[in-house]
Amino acid sequence: MNKNEKWTANWLIAAYHALNEHFGNLHWWPGDSPLEVIVGAILTQNTAWQNVEKAIANLKTAHLLSVEALLAIPESSLAALIRPSGYYNIKARRLKSFFALLQDCFHGNLEVMLGEESRTLREKLLEVKGIGEETADSVLLYAGGKPVFVVDAYTRRILMRHGISRDRLTYGEIQRLFMEHLPLDAPLYNQYHALLVNTGKHYCRKQPRCEVCPLNQLE
């Protein structure tokens, strides 16, 4: 490990401890089952989490939060139920596409799907129209418990502002910063991503609040 890599590794570890001490265990991702986590990961694209919660509550009230029900429900009916999540027609199509993958490749068995090797499953998820790297990795980590680090806009912004990454780094390059410098540990990645999201929401905003940010002590 060269000097720059060692500095990066030390910063990432120190940042985790500073944020973990500040926020505590965030118990993320909220969901009563892997299925609910997957549905939430697709619905949360381009919307606030409270809107996703309303959409999922609609599905639960209608007794439709099961693989069988979501395979059977017409796309238009599904769109109406998930309306609170925004872009509901597009998201209904994405959900139906995911469940088509689940049916075609895994006979509708979510446990079998999540037991697939990480790289292979990721490739299959990325073939579903509307599922990008962040959503696919959210499924792997939060529903499957696989040690895959999830990168989002908050992560990119925080790393850029602290000089850890450059604007032109790809999703995969940022992901490797974490996965090459931290242990391959799903609970660690789970908590770290949640900590970064909370830091982005409360401190590292478009107009940053650096003076009160828990990462300020690392400078």
Residue-wise pLDDT tens digits, 145-198: 999 999 999 999 999 999 998 778 999 999 999 999 999 999 999 999 999 999
In a domain, 27, yes or no: no
Position 65 scores a pLDDT of 96
Q: Is residue 219 scored above 80 in pLDDT? A: no
Are both 82 and 138 inside the same structural domain? yes
What's the rounded Cα separation, in Å, for the pair 190 and 164?
20
**Domain CATH code at residue 79:** 1.10.340.30
- Residues in contact with 195: Cβ distance below 8 Å, sequence separation at least 6, in sequence order: 16, 19, 20, 23, 26
Which of 75, 83, 26 shows the shortest CA–CA distance to 51?
A: 83
Are both 38 and 77 inside the same structural domain? yes
Final residue before a domain boundary, out of 143, 173, 202: 143
Final residue before a domain boundary, out of 125, 143, 161: 143
Residue-wise pLDDT tens digits, 9-42: 999 999 999 999 999 999 999 899 999 999 999 9
Are both 106 and 137 inside the same structural domain? yes
**DSSP label at 86?**
S
- Can you give the residue range of the structural domain that contains 166? 3-22+149-218
Torsion of the alpha carbons at 30, 153, 39 and 146, rounded to the nearest 10:
-70
Task: Provide mean pLDDT across the span 121-146.
Answer: 97
Give Cα 66 distance to the centre of its chain. 21
